[in-house]
Amino acid sequence: MSLRISIVGMGRIGTQAARRLLAAEPDIALTLYDIEPERCEDFRGSATLATSAREALAESDTIVLALPREREIDRTLERFSDGEVSAPIAGKLIVDLDPPPAERARRLDQAIASAGGRYTCAPLLAAGAISAEARLLRALTRSA
């Protein structure tokens, strides 16, 4: 079964992650989203280009966040003033490539867990050897 991964945020880090994933996992079902759609255009034909963050979340079991600020993470996960995640992420792994400071990451982890998802930062599982998640994280974190 092929991996189903979405990357939200196609700046430098997200673009690099997409290239590495496509090179490491040829059968990957990759979905990309950026608030500026033209950032995804180089991947047309090798990835699905989502029209919204919600669509990107729905398409995959693993969601890679390559977002510059917590505000963008909150928008993507539909996390508003109450701190709860309202986006449909139950059963999904949320991988943060540029995590917030420790206390904010802890609160985000709790909010994602409350919504039925799992949260991790890319370096944390990179040492794992067997799971698809570990392969994903190795592909994302190895040097170019």
pLDDT of residue 127: 38
- pTM (2 d.p.): 0.86
> What are the structure tokens assigned to 72, written together?
């963008």
Report whether 30 contacts 47 (CB < 8 A). Answer: yes
With 0-12 CB in 10 A as exposed, 13-18 as middle and 19+ as buried, what is 137? buried
How large is the average pLDDT for residues 54-61?
96
pLDDT in tens, 2-14: 679 999 999 988 9
Phi, psi of 4 (to 5 degrees): -115, 105
